[in-house]
Amino acid sequence: MPGPGLAVRRRLRGPAGSGAYDPGMGNREALLAGARRCLEEKGYAASTARDVASAARLPEAAVAEHFGSCAALLHEALFAAMRERGAETGGAAGDDYEDLWSRTAESFRAHRWLWAATLEALVHAQRSPELLRTLAAGQDDARRALAARLTGVAGAEVAAHDVRTVGTVQLALLTGVLVQWLADPEHAPDGREIGEGLRALAARTAG
């Protein structure tokens, strides 16, 4: 069996970004695809370095060689999938807010594995300061991206105040609605209900 230092060119078949094998992949790409496949099929907590290496058709030692740890590899694959979903559900200032939530809810439904894995990763990171810092940085990026989307300002130019207010509140809403979708998708709120609820809250809290 070739050692992990050799370029084992196993080819995968499937669309880019998926967990399926693709002919053009090198070792690192194959590991990311394998990690994604494991996240989809087994979840975050149950995926091991052996599982990922097997899915990538590479020696288990390749995981540590290319990513340092299985957790780091799973996080990178998870963040890549989250960026894809964010691009799909993203909108812009002026877009209907309820429609934005409807697209988000559809993403929760269609990609349940991804959002469940996100919460699993957060729980795991409580025992890993390094991974927790990575997630915290991703959360900061999410606040900024959400504030930029809702205010119509480029991410690099969005005001810090908007990041801490608009971005923080929208992220809190996303997280809370996500938990409801995972726990009880049949009774989770849709875009219309979220919009109505926010308007009612705004009316009650307006000073």
Question: What pLDDT does residue 11 have?
Answer: 36
pLDDT (mean) for 17-27: 62
* 10 CB-contact burial (10 Å; exposed 0-12 / middle 13-18 / buried 19+): middle
Query: Per-residue confidence at 19, pLDDT binned at 50, 70, 90?
Result: low
Phi, psi dihedral angles at 80 (to 5 degrees)? -60, -45
- In the 8-state DSSP scheme, what is residue 185? G
pLDDT (mean) for 152-166: 93
Fold of 1-89: Arc Repressor Mutant, subunit A (1.10.10)
Question: What pLDDT does residue 206 have?
Answer: 84
* 77 CB-contact burial (10 Å; exposed 0-12 / middle 13-18 / buried 19+): buried
Give the Cα separation of 26 and 62 in Å (integer). 12
Query: Per-residue confidence at 134, pLDDT binned at 50, 70, 90?
Result: confident
> Tell me, what amino acid is at 31?
L
Structure tokens at 97: 């807010």
SS3 of 88, please? helix
The per-residue pLDDT for range 74-104, each reduced to its tens digit, is 989 998 998 887 665 555 555 688 888 888 8
- In the 8-state DSSP scheme, what is residue 69? S
Looking at the predicted structure, is the pLDDT value of residue 106 above 80? Answer: yes
Angle 97-110/70-89 helices, nearest 10 degrees? 140
The per-residue pLDDT for range 38-60, each reduced to its tens digit, is 999 999 999 999 999 999 999 99
Residue of 154, 145, 144 whose CA lies nearest to 90:
145
Instruction: Report angle CA 111, 154, 178 to the nearest 5 degrees.
Output: 25
Nearest-Å Rg of the Cα atoms of the chain is 19
CATH 1.10.10.60: which residues of the chain?
1-89
User: Which residue in this structure is represented by tokens 């709120």?
Assistant: 189
Mean pLDDT of the chain: 84
Q: Which helix (H) or strand (E) holds 39?
A: helix 27-42
Looking at the predicted structure, is the pLDDT value of residue 158 above 60? Answer: yes
